[in-house]
C-alpha cells in the first residue's frame, strides 16, 4: 500500500508541476495580533496566487502527531510514512549523495568529546568546522580497516555529523543507538534489538572501537556516537508511480536525500535561496515534469522562536515567486512539510497551509495565503499523502476511475 492511487489511473502528459516547500511553514497566532507568521508576513505574490487557488490544510500524518522532515516530505511525495518509515542513517547517506545499494546499513555518527574515563563531555565535539570534519573523516578512512566480507564507508556531513555505511551480506539495522543523549556517561554499547542482529551488533561495535582508537589523540573529536541505524530499501520511483520525471533543487543535503530516495534527480546544491529559482529556470526545459524546490529558513527561524524572523523568511521566499510564475507552470503548489510555530520553537502537529494554483480550482477572491483562509478552503483538512493525487489531477495527468 502507501500507493494512494490505483496505478493505472496515471497518464503521461506534457504539463509541468512545481512543488515549492517552505520547511515548517505552519505557525501559531501571535497572542496579541491573532495572526500567524504566514498571515503577518508581507506576501503580496503568494496572496495574489491564493486569491483563486485551491486552499487547504495538510495533516502530515495523523491528528496530533508531529513528524520529522523525512516523513514530512515522504508524505508530500505521496508515500505514507507509516508504511515507508525511513531511518535517519539512510536519509543522511542519501543527503550527502552517497550511492546507497539495496541492503546497505547506514547510521548517522556524531563526533563527540570524552574524558580520560571515557565519559562523554560534549556530544558534538565543540561543533567542528566542515573542513575539520573532512579532515577527521579522512583520518578514519585511512585508519579503520574493513572487516572481512564487509565494506566500510565514512562520509562527512556537516559540522559534527558524519555517516557510516556498511555493505555486506545479512546486515541488520535492528540495533540500538549508542548515543546516551546526555553527558557524563560513556557511549552505550551497540546492542541488538531483535534475534539475528547480534552478529551485526558485534561488527559495528568493533568498527566503532577501531574508529575511537584512531581518534584517540584528537583534542576534541575523540569519540563517536551512533544514531539511527537503517537499512536501505529502494522505494518505487516517481517515474514508476506517477509517470513523472522529477528533479529536486534544495540547498541542504537531507532534502536532496529524501528526493533521491523516490527516484528524483537532484541538482547541485545552490548556495543561496535565489539560486534555487535560478536552477529551476535553467532546468525548466530540460525534460522534467515535476520540480521540487526546498526552502529551509522558515523552519530554522521557527525553531529559534523568532516570530518576525520567520515572517521575514516567508517574505523572502514570496519575493522569488514572480520568477516561478513567469515560467507558467501548469500547477504550482506551495506548502510545508510540517508546522514549526515560532511560539512552540519546534516542529508541531498543526496542519500546514497548502495552495494549489491551477485553472481548475473553485476558490475565488480568497483573502490571502494563511492558516485561517486555508481552513476555509476547498480542500479542507487532508492528509499530506493525498497531495500528489491532487497535483496530478490539476495537471491533467489522472484518468477516470471506472467507466
The answer to whether 188 contacts a second copy (rule: CB under 8 A) is: no
Question: CA-based diameter of the chain, in Å?
Answer: 74
Residues between 25 and 54 that touch a second copy (CB under 8 A): 28-29, 34, 36
**Dihedral sign of CA atoms 377, 379, 323, 35 in order:** positive
Interface with a second copy in residues 230-249 (CB under 8 A): none
**Sign of torsion over alpha carbons 123, 127, 130, 133:** negative
Cβ-in-10-Å burial (0-12, 13-18, 19+) of 196 comes to: exposed
Give the Cα separation of 140 and 386 in Å (integer). Answer: 44
Q: Residue 66, interface with a second copy (CB under 8 A)? A: yes
Q: Which is nearer to a second copy, 134 or 376 (CB)?
A: 376
| Number of residues binding to a second copy, judged by CB under 8 A | 63
Pick the closer one to a second copy by CB: 66 or 172. 66
Restricted to residues 347-386, the positions that interact with a second copy (CB under 8 A) are 347-351, 360-362, 364-365, 371-372, 375-376, 378-382, 386
User: Residue 253 interacts with a second copy (CB under 8 A)?
Assistant: no
Whether the CB-CB separation of 105 and 171 falls below 8 Å is answered with: yes
Which segment (61-69, 178-186, 211-219, 326-334) binds a second copy by CB under 8 A?
61-69
DSSP E strand stretches across 158-289: 161-167, 223-231, 246-250, 265-266
Contact 37, 348 (CB under 8 A): no
Instruction: Pick the binder of a second copy from 43, 45, 69, 335 (CB under 8 A).
Output: 69
In the window 77-136, what residues touch a second copy (CB under 8 A)?
81-82, 85-88, 91
Query: Binding of a second copy at residue 67 (CB under 8 A)?
Result: yes
The single residue among 14, 63, 148, 195 that binds a second copy, judged by CB under 8 A, is 63
Quickly tell me which residue has 535492528 as its cell.
174
Counting contacts by CB under 8 A, is residue 389 touching a second copy? yes
Smallest gap from Cβ 240 to a second copy, in A, equals 18
Q: Are 362 and 54 in contact (CB under 8 A)?
A: yes
What is the 8-class DSSP label of residue 9?
A: G
Nearer to a second copy, 179 or 273 (CB): 179
DSSP 385: G
- The rounded distance, in Å, linking the Cα atoms of 204 and 379 is 48
Q: Which of 12, 169, 272, 400 binds a second copy (CB under 8 A)?
A: 400
Gap between the terminal Cα atoms of the chain: 24
> Is beta strand 17-22 parallel, antiparallel or unpaired with respect to 331-335?
parallel
- Pick the closer one to a second copy by CB: 54 or 166: 54
How far is the C-alpha of 375 from the C-alpha of 209, rounded, in Å?
A: 53
Cβ nearer to a second copy, comparing 57 with 224: 57
Least distance (Å) between residue 352 CB and a second copy: 12
Residues 171, 140 contacting (CB under 8 angstroms)? no
342 scored as a contact of a second copy (CB under 8 A): no
Task: Rank residues 168 and 243 by Cβ distance to a second copy and give the closer one.
Answer: 243
Q: Does 287 bind a second copy (CB under 8 A)?
A: no
Whose Cβ is closer to a second copy: residue 58's or residue 280's? 58
Nearest-approach distance from CB 36 to a second copy, in angstroms: 7
Q: What distance in Å separates the CA atoms of residue 24 and residue 69, rounded to the nearest whole number?
A: 9
Give Cα 220 distance to the centre of its chain: 30
Q: Is 195 an interacting residue with respect to a second copy (CB under 8 A)? A: no
Contact positions toward a second copy, by CB under 8 A?
Answer: 4-6, 9, 28-29, 34, 36, 57, 61-72, 81-82, 85-88, 91, 228, 341, 344, 347-351, 360-362, 364-365, 371-372, 375-376, 378-382, 386, 389-394, 398-403
Amino acid at each position: 500500500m502507501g500507493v494512494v492511487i490505483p496505478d493505472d489511473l496515471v497518464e503521461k502528459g506534457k504539463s509541468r508541476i512545481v512543488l515549492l516547500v517552505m520547511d515548517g511553514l505552519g505557525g501559531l497566532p501571535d497572542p496579541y495580533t491573532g495572526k500567524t507568521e504566514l498571515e503577518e508576513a508581507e506576501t503580496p505574490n503568494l496572496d495574489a496566487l491564493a486569491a483563486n487557488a485551491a486552499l487547504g490544510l495538510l495533516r502530515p500524518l495523523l491528528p496530533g502527531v508531529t513528524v520529522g522532515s523525512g516523513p514530512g516530505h515522504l508524505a508530500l511525495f505521496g508515500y505514507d510514512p507509516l508504511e515507508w518509515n525511513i531511518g535517519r542513517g539512510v536519509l543522511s547517506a542519501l543527503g550527502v549523495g552517497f550511492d546507497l545499494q539495496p541492503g546497505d546499513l547506514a547510521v548517522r555518527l556524531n563526533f563527540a568529546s570524552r574524558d580520560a574515563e571515557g565519559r562523554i563531555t560534549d556530544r558534538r565535539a565543540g561543533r567542528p568546522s566542515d573542513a575539520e570534519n573532512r579532515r577527521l573523516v579522512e583520518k578514519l578512512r585511512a585508519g579503520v580497516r574493513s572487516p572481512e566480507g564487509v565494506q566500510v564507508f565514512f562520509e562527512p556531513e556537516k559540522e559534527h555529523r558524519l555517516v557510516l555505511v556498511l555493505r555486506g551480506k545479512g546486515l541488520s539495522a535492528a540495533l540500538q543507538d549508542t548515543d546516551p543523549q546526555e553527558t557524563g556517561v560513556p557511549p552505550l554499547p551497540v546492542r541488538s534489538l531483535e534475534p539475528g542482529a547480534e552478529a551485526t551488533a558485534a561488527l559495528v561495535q568493533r568498527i566503532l572501537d577501531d574508529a575511537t582508537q584512531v581518534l584517540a589523540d584528537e583534542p576534541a573529536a575523540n569519540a563517536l556516537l551512533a544514531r539511527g541505524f537503517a537499512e536501505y530499501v529502494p522505494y518505487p520511483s516517481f517515474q514508476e508511480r506517477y509517470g513523472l520525471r522529477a528533479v529536486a533543487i534544495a540547498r541542504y543535503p537531507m532534502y536532496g536525500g529524501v528526493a533521491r530516495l523516490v527516484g528524483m534527480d537532484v541538482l547541485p546544491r545552490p548556495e543561496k535561496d535565489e539560486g534555487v529559482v535560478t536552477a529551476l529556470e535553467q532546468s525548466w526545459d530540460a525534460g522534467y515534469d515535476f520540480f521540487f524546490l526546498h526552502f529551509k529558513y522558515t523552519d530554522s527561524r521557527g525553531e529559534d522562536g523568532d516570530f518576525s524572523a520567520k515572517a521575514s523568511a516567508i517574505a523572502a521566499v514570496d519575493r522569488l515567486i514572480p520568477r516561478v510564475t513567469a515560467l507558467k507552470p501548469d500547477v504550482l503548489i506551495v506548502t510545508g512539510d510540517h508546522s514549526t510555530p515560532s511560539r512552540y520553537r519546534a516542529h508541531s502537529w498543526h496542519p500546514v497551509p497548502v495552495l494549489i494554483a491551477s485553472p481548475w480550482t473553485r476558490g475565488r477572491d480568497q483573502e490571502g495565503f494563511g492558516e485561517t483562509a486555508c481552513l476555509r478552503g476547498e480542500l479542507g483538512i487532508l492528509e499530506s499523502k493525498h497531495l500528489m493525487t491532487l497535483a496530478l489531477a490539476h495537471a491533467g495527468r489522472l484518468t477516470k476511475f471506472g467507466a
